[in-house]
Homo-oligomer: A and B are copies of this chain.
Amino acid sequence: SSGRPAAAGALERAMDELLHRAVPAMPAYELREKTPARAENQCADFVSFYGGLAETAERAELLGRLARGFGVDHSQVAEQSAGVLQLRQQPREPAVLLQAEDRLRYALVPRYRSLFHHISKMEGGVRFLVRLRADLLEAQALKLVEGPHVREMNGVLKNMLSEWFSSGFLNLERVTWHSPCEVLQRISEAEAVHPVKTWMDMKWRVGPYRRCYFFSHCSTPGEPLIILHVALTNEISSSIQTIIVKEYPLSETEERNKITTAIFYSLSLTQQGLQGVELGAFLIKRVVKELQKEFPQLGAFSSLSPIPGFTKWLLGLLKAKAKEHGRSGLLTDCESQEIAELTGGPALETLQPLLSSGEWAQSERLARALQAPLMRLCAWYLHGEKHRGYALNPVAHFHLQNGAVLWRINWLADVSLKGLTSACGLMVNYRYFLEDTAANSTAYLGCKSIKASEQVLSLVAQFQKNSKL
């Protein structure tokens, strides 16, 4: 950041000056293939200027200026549109129409796209663009930058990245204790779902009865993009503790005939810039194939997934209903009463701090009292709460999109502090019936219908019945 100007006005001027220098003008349509390759310097200027901006807000500012100032030339688009329309009215031979359309297509390419294109050809360029998009997403999330131009640029970048990180260019790599420490350190740091504490934790997760796979791009082997942890078990696990916390050591050699089930218990994207580039679904598919090759007898595939947001959603509900007074529909009378006795106050109110802190789990009696209502509410949260018609919970949406079945909600499945505070200790299995995933996926995406098991449907019915009273 040595070259960074002192005053804000100066910085902005420097940004504008840089962008005018670095973003190539669109050559005329006729010359689009005759234009000499961009001198690498200008792209390199952009990359190094951007790298020199230490603060998120500065980066956001630059990206905003790029999106707003170097997009599509609307008058060109209008002119070419008019040309196409005229041909529609006065038809000529197809070649003329096709060329008019191609001119229009060309006019619709935002100018910044060729900056990204040139950068992608530099050494480390694609990696740079992944980070740039991560910054852009973060800036949008932090409201540092907004508006349709930025959204458009994000879309353009996502499409470019989707092309480059297409499944044909991804390598599946398996992680073992023989993998480079570098890789294991990254895997360990990237583990967002169930954090890795020590190196022996990590050894455990790549040891017998466990598998850890990741995708790398073929141009950067050994660099994990997205990581999947699998446990090989003899049943669909109902608790993360049985997978992650065990007495050491397991026997060194796997007894293959004890392995009937594969549990996907953690999926972590290492590069936030690749959000929306379909990697996760494809990774699960490839891993299933890999596991079937290794264990032809594998009969069941299922996730054991967290339910992020459930506690928050529930607390919101409690707060709202507590104000309303009267029957909330959340708890039965009987439940309300029992809880009130245990907590020493009106259930909807006393529960709030207990659920928020996870302290309820320390009282066996309270836990017993809460099991039925929490299971029921969680089933509803997963199955009934929607965003634009699709499941509100993002993990649920992900697995349902892939064609999984909402299989089983598990009580006291993650009793770590994180598990208790984020989802009241509940976890859920999304089960993959391989022959049905395509149909399920189509039904979910097309008709927004969610396939769920008896257990879940019955819990949902209980919720509905209770809330209607």
A positions within 8 Å CB-CB of B: 34-37, 39, 71-72, 74, 77-78, 81-82, 84-85, 88, 94-95, 97-99, 101-102, 104-105, 108, 120-123, 125-126, 147-149, 152, 155, 163-164, 166-169, 171, 177-182, 184-185, 199, 202-203, 217-219, 278, 281, 438, 441-442, 445-446
Given the complex, which residues of B lie within 8 Å of A152, measured CB to CB? 98, 102
How far apart are the CA atoms of A442 and B218 in the complex, in Å?
A: 33
User: Would you give 13 A-B contacts (Cβ < 8 Å), ordered by A?
Assistant: A34-B445, A34-B446, A36-B438, A36-B441, A71-B98, A72-B101, A77-B104, A108-B108, A122-B168, A168-B219, A178-B181, A180-B181, A181-B184
Given the complex, which residues of B lie within 8 Å of A169, measured CB to CB? 164, 169, 218-219
Given the complex, which residues of B lie within 8 Å of A182, measured CB to CB? 177-178
Given the complex, which residues of B lie within 8 Å of A123, measured CB to CB? 168
Given the complex, which residues of B lie within 8 Å of A39, measured CB to CB? 438
Return A173 CB to nearest CB of chain B, in Å: 14
Return A92 CB to nearest CB of chain B, in Å: 11
Return A276 CB to nearest CB of chain B, in Å: 8
Partner of A178 from the list B81, B82, B180, B203 (CB cut-off 8 Å) is B180
How far apart are the CA atoms of A441 and B39 in the complex, in Å?
A: 11
Residue of A108, A168, A178, A278 with most partner-chain B CB within 10 A:
A168
Please name the 10 residue pairs, one residue from A and one from B, whose CB atoms are nearest each other, closest first. Answer: A81-B81, A95-B148, A218-B218, A218-B219, A178-B180, A121-B167, A78-B88, A105-B108, A98-B148, A36-B441
Return A330 CB to nearest CB of chain B, in Å: 32
Given the complex, which residues of B lie within 8 Å of A438, measured CB to CB? 36, 39
How far apart are the CA atoms of A88 and B107 in the complex, in Å?
A: 15
CB of A78 within 8 A of CB of B74, answer: no
Return A190 CB to nearest CB of chain B, in Å: 16
Partner of A84 from the list B81, B94, B149, B163 (CB cut-off 8 Å) is B81
CB of A120 within 8 A of CB of B85, answer: no
Given the complex, which residues of B lie within 8 Å of A71, measured CB to CB? 98
How far apart are the CA atoms of A217 and B171 in the complex, in Å?
A: 13
How far apart are the CA atoms of A414 and B98 in the complex, in Å?
A: 46
Given the complex, which residues of B lie within 8 Å of A99, measured CB to CB? 148
Given the complex, which residues of B lie within 8 Å of A72, measured CB to CB? 101
Return A77 CB to nearest CB of chain B, in Å: 6
Given the complex, which residues of B lie within 8 Å of A202, measured CB to CB? 181
Given the complex, which residues of B lie within 8 Å of A148, measured CB to CB? 94-95, 98-99
How far apart are the CA atoms of A181 and B185 in the complex, in Å?
A: 10
How far apart are the CA atoms of A84 and B169 in the complex, in Å?
A: 37
Return A215 CB to nearest CB of chain B, in Å: 12
Using known A-B contacts A81-B81, A94-B148, determine if residue A168 contacts B218 with beta carbons closer than 8 Å. Answer: no
